[in-house]
Amino acid sequence: MNPSVSIGPLAETLPGLLEKGGYSGIIVIADTKTRRFCYPVLKPLLPKHRLVVVEAGEVHKTLDSCEVIWQAMTDAGLDRHALAINIGGGVIGDMGGFCASIYKRGIDFIQVPTTLLSQVDASVGGKLGIDFRGLKNHLGVFSMPLKVLIDPVFLKTLPVRELRSGFAEIIKHCLIADGSKWEKIRKTDFEDQDWPGLIAHSVAIKSKVVEEDPKEKGLRKILNFGHTLGHAVETRFLEKPRSQQLLHGEAIAVGMLMEAYLSYRRKMISKELFLQIEEFLFPVYGVVVIEDADVEPILALTRQDKKNRGKEIRFSLLDGAGSCAYDVVVAPAEMRKAIAYYQKG
């Protein structure tokens, strides 16, 4: 397990970290949901601190929200020896860490992920950032947190839809790096999954990959399986009515199905594995309705993907159960076929 990640009750680790750090000031960054449901767990463990609350959701992962956070840091008189604690899901972790890394050229920050998605993926690895003019994670930095504190108690606050969203990243980790674990989870009903064990498993996989390739020059790109088309779908659906918008993991499930199709069409994976992925993902996530009018905007969004080089759109595709290839160039015509496959459900 990555020594910068701790899984267990906050009370067992946070007080010691604060005492050792001797921080000149502390700011807690939360959103409107975690302020209500999660901050009460954290508050009794903290000395005097400042709380800043921003609106919840991906649509608020913007420079405007960052300005609110930076203004609160400035108003609190925080210096470079201060600490930021980000308590929330992936949006708060990404944005709060980004703000801490930029403020006065960087202050320490601790991630306290409260969703399954952020516990297994977003909080580990040091990728921080915000969306910009409709482009997901377009502005950002690599900066490692002082510590990631994963307390499974927060999972009790989550609706089932949020658990499903996080489960998508767990599935991804198994498909790209652990074929035997994939066999186990696909034979287990969603309601019967071992969440604490799966969290530890995902953290271990991602930590190992990030340790080998912290700046995503090579191997780390495998973590983007499902994310080229998945991110594009997620961003496109942010333009739709709120009731149609997708959680990150829901979009990644769509992306994994499309990109598994690409892997199969290129003969990188067997028909058997492709059918296993279909038979597992469709019942858990259903089918998202992608209109014909969405196809070209989705393709246009893939051209902004950070893995691209020049005009080449580069994917991470499966080449076996528990194995993934990266920097695979895919043409727009192939992507259209993958989207058309998904549209048929």
pLDDT at residue 162, rounded to an integer = 95
pLDDT at residue 26, rounded to an integer = 99
What is d(CA 185, CA 341) in angstroms, rounded to the nearest whole number?
25
Q: What is the mean pLDDT of residues 1-6?
A: 79
CATH number for position 181: 1.20.1090.10
pLDDT at residue 123, rounded to an integer = 81
CATH number for position 64: 3.40.50.1970
pTM of the model: 0.91
- pLDDT at position 231 over 90: yes
Same-domain status, 183 and 90: no
Residues 6+ apart with CB under 8 A from 266: 317, 328
pLDDT at residue 1, rounded to an integer = 58
What is d(CA 3, CA 174) in angstroms, rounded to the nearest whole number?
22
Same-domain status, 249 and 141: no
| Averaged pLDDT score across all residues of the chain | 96
Same-domain status, 214 and 242: yes
Sign of CA dihedral 3, 7, 10, 13: negative
Same-domain status, 131 and 192: no
When divided into structural domains, the chain yields a total of: 2
Domain boundary residue among 156, 177, 208? 156
Determine the angle formed by the axes of helices 332-343 and 248-265, rounding to 10 degrees: 110
Exposure on the CB side of residue 324, measured as CA atoms within 13 A: 27
Same-domain status, 232 and 323: yes
Tell me which residue range forms the domain holding 294. 160-343
Domain boundary residue among 122, 140, 156? 156
C-alpha distances (whole Å) from 140 to each of 145, 325, 326 are: 14, 25, 22
Same-domain status, 227 and 257: yes
Same-domain status, 320 and 205: yes
Domain boundary residue among 119, 141, 156? 156
- pLDDT at position 315 over 70: yes
